[in-house]
Structures are given as C-alpha cells and as structure tokens.
Amino acid sequence: MKKLLTLSLILLLFSCKNDKKEEVTDATDTSATEEIQQKQPEYPQALSAIFKAHGGLDQWNKMNNICYEMDGSGGMETHTVSLKNRKTIIENKAWSIGYDGNDVWLFENEKSSYKGNARFYHNLMFYFYAMPFVLGDDGINYEDVGTTELKGKTYNGIKISYDAGVGDSSKDEYVLYFNPETHLMEWLGYTVTYMDDKKTDDWHFIKYDRWQDVNGLQLPEKMTFYNVKDGKPADEKKDYVFKKVTATETMIDDSVFKKPEGATVVEK
C-alpha cells in the first residue's frame, strides 16, 4: 500500500512542477483542445469581459492541469485537478481524497482521520478557486441581476443556475459580483443544496480581493469566507491562502487519480 501511495505522490509532484522544460503535452489531446475552443458558446457580454480580465477562456482552455496548496481544516492540503475531465486528488498527511472519473474515493492513514463529507469536498475548493472560468462549463444559465451594494461598494452581478442533472447539486445557485470598471471578480454569492437537493435562499459569500498571475491567468491568491447577516456578508470568518500554484498544459497520468488499495468509495 505504501508503494502505491509513494508512486502516486511522485507522479503528483512531477505534474505540479512549474518548469516549462519538463512540460510534456500529449499530442493526441491537441485536437480535443481545439474542438473545445471551436465549440465555445456565446456568453453574456459582461461575462465575456470578466473572462478576458482574468486572462481569457482561450488561455484557460489551453491548460490541462492545475495544482495548488492550501491550509485546510485538517492541515496543509495539495490539490491537483485534470481540467479536461476534472479527475481530482487531494493529499493531506492523514488522508487522501480522489475522483477517478467514475468514483470518489477516500483513503485514511488511520480510521476516522478525515472529518467531513469526502464526496461533497472532493471538488468544492477547486470550484471556488477556478472562478470565474468554471462558469464557462456546459449546462449553465445566466441572468443579469443589476447592481448590488456589498460592504459599502457597488457591484454588477450575474446569477448562475444549472440545468437539471448537472453535477451532484444542480439546484445550487451562484451570483458573481464584479467590479464594473475592471471587470475583475470581487465577490461570489452561493447556495448549498447538496444535502437535501432543494433550492434555498440561504446565501453564503466569498470575497476575492487578491489575485496572482499563473501562466497568463488571474487566479486567487486569497479567498475570504464571510459570516452573513440579513442576507449580506457581515464580518470575515476564514481566509484561505493558495500557494505553489501552477497551471500547465501537461497531461497528468490517470494513475495519479486511481483508487489505491485500502481506499473506500464514497457514495452520495
């Protein structure tokens, strides 16, 4: 078991290196990337301007993986995502969570070392982190919600909803609040319907106020989750800082995401 995990970690660390000399793009994937670009739908004008302000969808679609480190509730975590198929692995010293394209799995070094819902968490932070680019996915509906004041500043907003059956929580809703002058995203409002699959008016908020350039993309350096009062962000609850961020054209081997011996499949 240890050999399996060691091999996975070696492959993971290799894939996360930000050294262009070591980037190896699978030539067979070039046509797939071009096809994605050709099929790119038309987005609302405001959302297209937001994508452009953050580096552009064309640049995002060139990337085949993204990696970062963050300090989670159980200590430091390394997240690696294969962007075209969203296969995922999250590594912590006490546990690992992965998605191999079919199943979400959990491996624990000691029984009950992971506290939480592994299926809910396996792509949660990635989805928040990869804003606004994940809002270019298929099956999404957009609505202009006009202007909103948050913490004394006025923003324009775009509401996002999903077609039925998209993902594990198709009834989730988001509102992306952006600076009307720079078109940079500054807030995200979101609802959580994973547990009971029912729409809700219980909104949560994340502030995006620090960006970093990663291979031509503006990605978060910090996200701040807020407590909510009367449906608006009130005071800061928790910061997440993202380190050692890479986004490259390297294709990650599927073995990195394979369920290791001793891991369990996590059902919804």
Number of continuous H segments (helices) and E segments (strands) in the chain? 6, 13
Return the SS3 of 105. Answer: strand
Q: How confident is the model at residue 2 (pLDDT cuts 50, 70, 90)?
A: very low
How much is the pTM? 0.83
pLDDT for 260 equals 96
Q: CATH classification of 2-265, choosing from 2.50.20, 2.60.120, 3.30.70, 1.10.3470?
A: 2.50.20
Q: Which residue has the higher pLDDT, 72 or 197?
A: 72
pLDDT for 246 equals 98
- Under 8 Å between Cβ of 58 and 69: no
Average of per-residue pLDDT across 137-147: 93
pLDDT for 193 equals 78
Residue 226 has pLDDT above 50, yes or no: yes
pLDDT for 194 equals 64
- Note the pLDDT tens digit of each residue in 28-43: 455 544 554 455 568 9
Tokens of 16: 């996360």
- Note the pLDDT tens digit of each residue in 159-196: 999 887 665 556 789 999 999 999 999 999 999 876 56
Give the C-alpha separation, 134 to 136, whole Å.
5
- Smallest CA-to-CA distance from 121 within 94, 90, 95 is with 90
- Under 8 Å between Cβ of 159 and 174: yes
- Of 21-25, 101-105, 137-141, the one with minimum mean pLDDT is 21-25
pLDDT for 6 equals 41
DSSP-assigned letters across all residues of 158-179:
EEEEE-TTSSS-TT--EEEEE-
Residue type, 225: F
Residue 234 has pLDDT above 90, yes or no: yes
- Note the pLDDT tens digit of each residue in 242-252: 999 999 999 99
pLDDT for 200 equals 77
Residue type, 266: V
Tokens of 219: 């990605």
- Note the pLDDT tens digit of each residue in 107-131: 999 889 999 999 999 999 999 999 9
Domain ranges of the chain: 2-265
Residue 15 has pLDDT above 60, yes or no: no
